Amino acid sequence: MDAGCPRLPDTVLFEIFLYLDHADVLSVGLVCQQWRAVARDEFLWKELFYRYYRVSRDVPRHPGAVSWYDEFQRLYDTIPCVEVQALKEHNDQVLHLSFSHSGCLFASCSKDCTVKIWSNELDISLQHSSNMRPYNWSYTQFSQFNSDDSLLLVSGVFVGPHNSSSGEIAVISMENFTLLSRVRNKPYDVFGCWLNETNLISGNLHRIGRITSCSVLWLNNAFQGIESENVNVVKRLFKIQNLNASTIRTVMVADCSRYDSPDLLLDYEEQLAASSTCPVFDLGSDSEEEEAKPKLPPEPAVQELPDAGGVPAEHGLQQLFGDIMEGRVRPAMTETELETKVAELFVRNRTKPPEPNLLPTDSNSKTKYLIFTTGCLTYSPHQIGIKRILPHQMTTAGPVLGEERRSDEFFDSLDHVIDIHGHIIGMGLSPDHRYLYVNSRAWPRDCVISDPMQPPPIAEEIDLHVFDLKTMKEVKRALRAHRAYTPNEECFFIFLDVSRDFVASGAEDRHGYIWDRHYNICLAKLQHDNVVNSVAFSPVEQELLLTASDDTTIKVWRSPRAVRIRQARRPRPRKLLFSWLMNQKS
């Protein structure tokens, strides 16, 4: 092959390789003598990389890469895009997937009202299945392992009296798969989450008016049935007012302790600064690229709290009612607008102020953030609320209603609010909890919401935003490729997941998607026969990805490199046949 390989100018050879398939580029390069001669030419591989992947030249090389050739190979060889197994034990839509922290197990939730536990070995196999219908559940929708993988939180939709639906959380022991406790959860799409090894967070909703309510977030001990006679097993964490039919949903907890040592810095200037003190990383030799400053989106809006030092709420209410009775309010308020105005005035002097200095300054801080979707204009979730959880709040010990507060501090305020200007349909944290990824479907630009019960139409294209929880700013541009078609009033959650180098998401277009976190490019589309509801990377092996779909299957995807390694480990059929023949002879 080498002898017959014609001698071409390097630039011509390079142009030919631009039109080859990714695998062909690597395989042909192995047998062509001339290409081997230039294979380590960084300039050629750099040009090939930028043009092949259509990456902006402002983007430097991945901080962990040693060469452009290795980067080109990494983005081909380590993406989990090869289907190796399809699991068909569910008999209805599969809604959610979650791995244990060890990566040895994962759980799946489904409209068939079961939660299934799978063993992640060479070939994935079903280990246990729990049917929740005996507990009046309609279906299971979410699961999460606690930090030591001894307990599994399972969230579902509970059918109560008169067919009213709420939510419920069940805690299952991983030692013997017994049900330890059940906790009511309202609304059901709060989902619930672990705060630490033995305590979980649930929600409750109290109606105050037609479009005004109060969300209460509770801390629950997982062993309620065992410990309830001796110690407190529940404690109120926060009580937050909701306006314009909004509610708190989709709670999750972020640990601030690793913010100063993330797995991957997404801000290129921070990468450059880190490289000056960390010689392990090589950012490449082109200083112009390294110094290029990315254009960041505007800083997300922070919700401003009413000034408590202004007119007292009681005087404000009296003045509002006087203006209404004497006809000084023009134009006339609708019933909805009046309820919202009264609620805002009522809460003005009855809210505990936000915690000062939200951003963590101590890298060893034990502070955690409670993150959830919320809103202020309409019932569809369009804001992300962030509330700091202090160390003394992380236990159910103490008064059931939480720490003592003044009588006028009836509600808790949010410490930070990020406005998405669209319907939020998914959230996920990076493994180091430094970055929050958010799936959303945008509202029309400059839209005005006059009725909270009629939110604006939403785009079919899904935007995947990235927020730095250390700075509370959006970083990079939104990732795009995936789509959704369900209208606003029927919109449902599409779960995403983040590994060290990749981010993946489901979509309604019958595909799962994988992007590279550093280069902000889409790397793979993973096909199903229906909506892809959830994706999950193995926490110990990012070259393994699971996807769950309305087609009732769970698909297992591995990288080309992992497939080659697995095939090399398997015994060859010829050897097995030879051994069998020898045994027959003997």
Structure tokens at 258: 């690793």
d(CA 249, CA 209): 19
Domain architecture of the chain: domains with CATH:
10-78 (1.20.1280), 82-261+365-400+407-568 (2.130.10.10)
Give strand pairing partners of 255.
368
- Cis peptide preceding 187, ω within 30 of 0: yes
Structure tokens at 165: 């639906």
- Burial status of residue 428 (CB atoms within 10 A of its CB: 0-12, 13-18, 19 or more): buried
> Is 198 in a helix, a strand, or coil?
coil
Write the CB contacts of 166 (distance below 8 Å, at least 6 apart in sequence).
157, 158, 160, 184, 185, 186, 187, 188
The mean pLDDT values, 10 residues at a time, for the chain of 586 residues are 44 51 52 54 81 88 88 90 97 98 97 97 92 96 97 92 80 96 94 96 93 94 68 86 94 89 79 52 30 40 42 54 55 66 64 66 71 95 95 81 64 93 96 96 92 93 95 88 85 93 96 95 96 97 97 97 85 55 57
Question: Cβ distance 169 to 179 under 8 Å?
Answer: no
Structure tokens at 580: 């069998």
The bridge status of strand 114-119 relative to strand 502-505 is unpaired
Long-range CB contact pairs, 479-486, < 8 A, 24+: 479/503, 479/515, 479/520, 479/522, 481/513, 481/515, 481/522, 481/525, 482/506, 482/507, 482/509, 482/511, 482/513, 483/507, 483/508, 483/509, 484/425, 484/441, 484/460, 484/508, 484/509, 485/460, 485/509
The strand ranges marked E within 392-461 are 411-412, 416-419, 422-429, 435-442
From the list 110, 107, 86, 112, the residue with the least C-alpha distance to 97 is 107
Write the CB contacts of 106 (distance below 8 Å, at least 6 apart in sequence).
97, 98, 99, 100, 117, 118, 120, 536, 546
From the list 388, 387, 386, 391, the residue with the least C-alpha distance to 364 is 391
Give strand pairing partners of 85.
556
- Burial status of residue 176 (CB atoms within 10 A of its CB: 0-12, 13-18, 19 or more): exposed
DSSP state of 461: B
Backbone dihedral region of 117: left (phi > 0), alpha (psi from -120 to 50 degrees) or beta? beta
Please state the separation of Cα 125 from the chain's center in Å: 26
As separate numbers, helices (DSSP H) first and strands (DSSP E) second, the chain gives 12, 30
d(CA 227, CA 585): 65
> Would you state the pLDDT for residue 33?
53
Neighbours of 26 (CB within 10 A): 16
**What is 245-276 written as a DSSP string?**
T---EEEEEEEGGGTTS-S---SHHHHHHHHT
Phi, psi of 57 (to 5 degrees): -75, -5
Helical packing angle, 42-53 and 22-31, nearest 10°: 160
Question: Cβ distance 180 to 222 under 8 Å?
Answer: yes
> Would you state the pLDDT for residue 43?
79
Structure tokens at 570: 């398997």
Around 574, how many Cα atoms within 13 Å sit in the side-chain half-sphere?
0
DSSP state of 104: S
d(CA 369, CA 154): 21
- The b/e string for 540-571 (b: 16+ C-beta within 10 A; e otherwise) is ebbbbbbbbbbbbbbbbbbbbbbbeeeeeeee
Structure tokens at 463: 């935007």
Neighbours of 448 (CB within 10 A): 7
Give strand pairing partners of 524.
514
Structure tokens at 149: 């993988």
> Would you state the pLDDT for residue 318?
57
> Would you state the pLDDT for residue 294?
39
Phi, psi of 549 (to 5 degrees): -140, 165
Question: Cβ distance 248 to 190 under 8 Å?
Answer: yes
**What is 5-73 written as a DSSP string?**
-----HHHHHHHHHTS-HHHHHHHHHH-HHHHHHTT-HHHHHHHHHHHHT--TTSPPPTT-S-HHHHHH
Structure tokens at 551: 């087609």
